[in-house]
Structure 1
Amino acid sequence: MLPAPDENSPRKAGGGSRLVIVNLLPTALIVLAVLLALNFFGLVATPLLVITLAVLLAAALNPLVLWGHAALHLPRPVAAILTVALLLGVLTLLGTLLVPVLIAQVSSFAVGLPADAYLLGQRLDAWLNEHPTLNALLGESVLDDVSSRATALVAGLIPQAVNLVVSTASNLALGVFGIVILTFTLAQPGPLVQGLLSAVPEARREWVGALAARVIGSLSRWGRGMLLLMLAVGGANALGLWALGVENWLLYGVVAAFGEIVPTVGPIFAALPPILATLADDPGKAVGVALLALAIQQVENYVLVPFVLGGSANLHPVSVTAGVLLFGSVFGLVGAFLTVPFLILIKALYEEVLLARRSLASEADAQAVVEGASPETPPEGQQAG
């Protein structure tokens, strides 16, 4: 028997139950478009990174171009070219001073890596033999699996290094494209902004312009702050490791600087190579390296980040960590690097589109939810009708 129709359900004029047909084609097309977009961004991850870096650098260097245009009365294209030339000159000077030492340390690191991995394994075995309970808990299979994985990792570094050398030409070509994009973005940003605003209905152009200015301002402050933060953290690590007598100190400093690119988790992973390398040779020195990394992280979190970055992003650490996990899972390392720019854009859209139409919840309501209570409800007469 068919179930009796609900008394509250809509009926046709003839008294029968109304048949509702749901068109799932738009939903299917949206899902297909999202999947195609993810696949497309996965294929163009490296060019996307180059373009994003160029745009971020343009946002960070734009105040310098504006100063040259206003204070020195230079045409904007000339000010942009001089700014890019200054940037390339600084990078060339740093490369001339640091690259030879860095190449030597990379070679030393690659040559000594198998021996360091072997010594580290020996020290781990000796330590486990001194703790039989933990040794029995882990079991031989676990130790053998860790050893085999470490050996495979070390062996896999050699072809990866070869691939890195082979891909240097393509990376240089991408770098040239990035410099061209940076130069033209700084020299002629007007047509790009005009094209963006022209794609928006005239009634919404003022709002979109204000939103774009907010996002560009946040990205500009974040980009300049990130460059300074990388320089400070990388330099502090390099100098500290040099003072501790750690080999390949410059290499580890560069790794620490680039570790700042990936928020939250990047500095943690960047601190591991010098700790593990010194642990294989001198455990006492490894403790000093770990304390150095911890001290630099504390100074970074409580002094450098508030002072250098300030409120440029103003993102909760949970949001950043979740963003690194999600974007990194979809786009790999490129997605992890682009987490903060993506979140700045998402936050601006969220605040301008959703929060602008409703009142912001109070801190008291949020604290009540955290403590397991319901937010306070206004009296019946004060509730919105």
Structure 2
Amino acid sequence: MAASPDSRTGALPVGDRRVLADRRASYRLAAAETLEFSDTQFFRRTMLVVALVLFTGLMLALIWYASDVLLVLFSGILFAVLLRAPTNWLAQHAGLRTSAALALSIGALAAVIMLLVYLFAVPMAAQVAQMIETLPQAADRLQDWMEQHRWARPLRPLIAELSRFRLDSQLLGRAGGFLTSTLSAITGAGVALFIGIYLAAQPRLYQRGLMHLLPRKNRPRAYEVMDEIGAVLRWWLAGRLATMTVVGVAAGIGLWLLGVPLAFTLGVLTGVLEFVPYIGPILAAVPPLLISYNADPELGFYVLMLYAAIQGAENYLLTPLIEQRAVALPPALVIFSTLLLGALSGPLGVVLASPITATAIVAVKLLYVEDVVEQPKPKL
């Protein structure tokens, strides 16, 4: 029971004042210790945040300066997925060893490429040279047509640049930068090819090496994520190859039936550019439109209808069937990633934007949506 103050002076007895002073001193000491602990904790958290910011900055700088190297590595992974699909099928259904199945897959792919080069390289090269000579004439005629239509006049500078294009020795002499870029692309393709072969030969070896960087409790989930990404890339690649084949054949046959010059070359070009969704088909339609319009404006209109019909059939028939097995990619996200990677890494970024987007969607879905967002809250 606390002592009551003196009724005459209003002060506490001496003993009680000492107890009160000791309590206040203990309170001040506890507050000082709490403040010191809070400062230490604040300092540690600040250093952690600074370290995370620096690490993020270093990773972004690495991606910025080494983006070409990372894209080549991803190209190798994509090529490994392409080789591994028939290898697994042969190993399961033909009873072959994995090494023999992989060698057979590489040999079959090389044989197909050599056969295509032998059958089509020479005539296609002649048609490409003819197309290069034809495009400026088509651009000149299109520019004259734009002079007669006011709404098309803003496009005249672009067409004027195309009309001045000539493939001669003077142009090739000034194309040192383009030649260097081409050699770099060929070198990168060779590196990606060897990376893909090594990855396809021993995929688990590299997976285990990567798993050693993670805690043991997270390794099973990491294996699941990597296997899911591999399956999605495999189905995406199969879907792209099927789409390229169907669209290229349809375009080539349609152009041939319409009597468009260089129908075979334009069909192959359409199929190759179909690898890049949404943007590739637009680029593929430009050369046949120019060439057909140079021959006959009415023919150019029919070619435009042909490509519109092909793209309509692809978007509403072929793509939905493919996306039943592969990951469904949002169009706006694919276009955004294509523009972003194109600005960062040039043509290689544009080509690989779609599979990179598919990989990112799977990783976010498994590692963030399922493991973080949809996790049930612990019961208290």
TM-score bracket, shorter-length normalisation: 0.7 to 0.9
Partner of 1:108: 130
- Deviation at residue 87 of structure 1 after TM alignment: 0.8
Partner of 1:312: 326
- Deviation at residue 294 of structure 1 after TM alignment: 0.7
The answer to whether 1:296 aligns with 2:322 is: no
Q: Deviations over 1:193-250 (max 9, x none)?
A: 2112222211011110111111110001111111111111111111111111111212
Contact 2:256 2:263 in 1 (8 A): yes
Partner of 1:275: 289
Separation in 1, partners of 2:299, 2:95: 55
- Deviation at residue 281 of structure 1 after TM alignment: 2.7
Contact 1:116 1:280 in 2 (8 A): yes
Q: What TM-score, normalized by structure 2, do the two folds share?
A: 0.77
Q: Aligned residue pairs: how many?
A: 335
Separation in 2, partners of 1:144, 1:224: 40
Contact 1:233 1:256 in 2 (8 A): yes
Contact 1:259 1:269 in 2 (8 A): yes
Tell me which amino acid in the other structure corresponds to 1:107. Answer: A
Partner of 1:326: 340
| SS of aligned partner of 1:275 | helix
Separation in 2, partners of 1:334, 1:219: 17
- Deviation at residue 186 of structure 1 after TM alignment: 2.2
Change (3 A) 1:41 1:76: same
Bigger fraction of residues in helix: 2
Which of 57, 61, 67 pairs up with 2:83?
A: 61
Contact 1:41 1:331 in 2 (8 A): yes
Contact 1:105 1:248 in 2 (8 A): yes
Partner of 1:247: 261
The answer to whether 1:223 aligns with 2:249 is: no
The answer to whether 1:358 aligns with 2:380 is: no
Contact 2:254 2:306 in 1 (8 A): yes
- Deviation at residue 114 of structure 1 after TM alignment: 2.4
Residue pairs, 1:17-166, within 5 angstroms? 25-26=50-51, 27-28=53-54, 30-42=56-68, 44=69, 48-49=71-72, 51-125=73-147, 127-128=148-149, 134=151, 145-146=157-158, 148-151=160-163, 158-159=171-172
Change (3 A) 1:32 1:198: closer
**Residues 339-348 or 159-168, more deviating:** 159-168
Question: Percent same amino acid at aligned positions?
Answer: 25
Separation in 2, partners of 1:160, 1:263: 34
> Over aligned residue pairs, what C-alpha RMSD do you find?
3.3
Change (3 A) 1:160 1:295: farther
| SS of aligned partner of 1:313 | coil
The answer to whether 1:208 aligns with 2:234 is: no
**Residues 321-330 or 31-40, more deviating:** 31-40
Q: Which runs of 5 or more structure 1 residues have no equivalent in the other structure? A: 1-11, 361-383
The answer to whether 1:346 aligns with 2:360 is: yes
Larger Cα Rg: Structure 1 or Structure 2?
2
Tell me which amino acid in the other structure corresponds to 1:159. Answer: L
